[in-house]
Structure 1
Amino acid sequence: MEGLSPLVWSVVRAHRLSDADAHEVYQTAWFRFAQHLGRIREPGKAGAWLASTARHECLKVIRSSQRLTLTDDPQLLDRVSEDGTPEQSLLDSEEAAAQSERVRRLWQEFEELGERCRQLLRVLMATPPPSYQDVSAALGIAVGSIGPLRQRCLRRLRARLEARGAM
């Protein structure tokens, strides 16, 4: 991996960032590489992955610097940013991506449940939730069976998610 450092530096330097920004992008590219190490399917393309990541990080820095407005107004400088810190924005975007992946996996496993479970859970997820009498009439399930069936379906879904490491 040490042989890839010059590649990352060359990508960063090509974007003519300040020294501080260049070092930040360099570290971020390697951090992303470490985060995604398990997902890289072709180790021979690690250099291309790092170069692409470094390029994307450089462009992020450039875009964020274009939003900056220089000022010497102390009142403006003391104002709390509505966007939060860059670190918090990064954490928020990573959390949103992770949440999106969890939702995708949930629906993927949901689709693998039996038809009866999918129908019942879809009906019960409606807003506002239907009464058990309405569910019974719509699906032909005895009112007293809806709760236990719902529980079994949710247990199956949970087991599927846990088996895939999604929980």
Structure 2
Amino acid sequence: MQERDTTELLLLARRGDTAAWHEIVRRYARLVWAVPRSHRLDPQDAADVCQATWLALAENLARIRRPERLGAWLVTTTRREALTVLRLRGREVPLDAWEAADTAPTPEEEALARDAGLWRAYATLTDRCREILRLAAFAPELSFSQVAEAVGIPVNSLGATRGRCLAVLRRRLAGSGVAR
């Protein structure tokens, strides 16, 4: 493989030749590694940048127009990845591992509590309101006339009845502290 030029290696790699891919990586690995380290990234971040660069090459093998400039393409791609890591690292706020645990509910716990409150409020509605809202939520493909027929009310009063049911549900949710 060593006697092959970069153009030939890229063509073979595009066709799925793993030996060609390994030769490309072998030839350029030190170069790709040097770029994030020159940006003073720690070894873990540098490894992530290198991995992202090789992934970008794998995804763009067919788009490399000047194979003889592969080294420059890899340097540019690696530099951009390194700068992205540096920019994002500035946004990270390290947590003290010994910090007291936050006792506030997690977003998942809040969502589950709201869900439980919604179902409790729903259970207090009349049978007709529960049926109208159930059909609206779980059978949206039904037409107004089909819902009206299923519930046993005139089509022209379905919209107003549904509006009243939703208003009652909102009031009960607000009264229970579930809705804001």
What TM-score bracket applies, with the shorter chain setting the length? Answer: 0.3 to 0.5
Normalising by the residue count of structure 2, what TM-score does the alignment of the two structures yield? 0.43
Task: From the CA coordinates, give the structure whose radius of gyration is larger.
Answer: 2
Normalising by the residue count of structure 1, what TM-score does the alignment of the two structures yield? 0.46
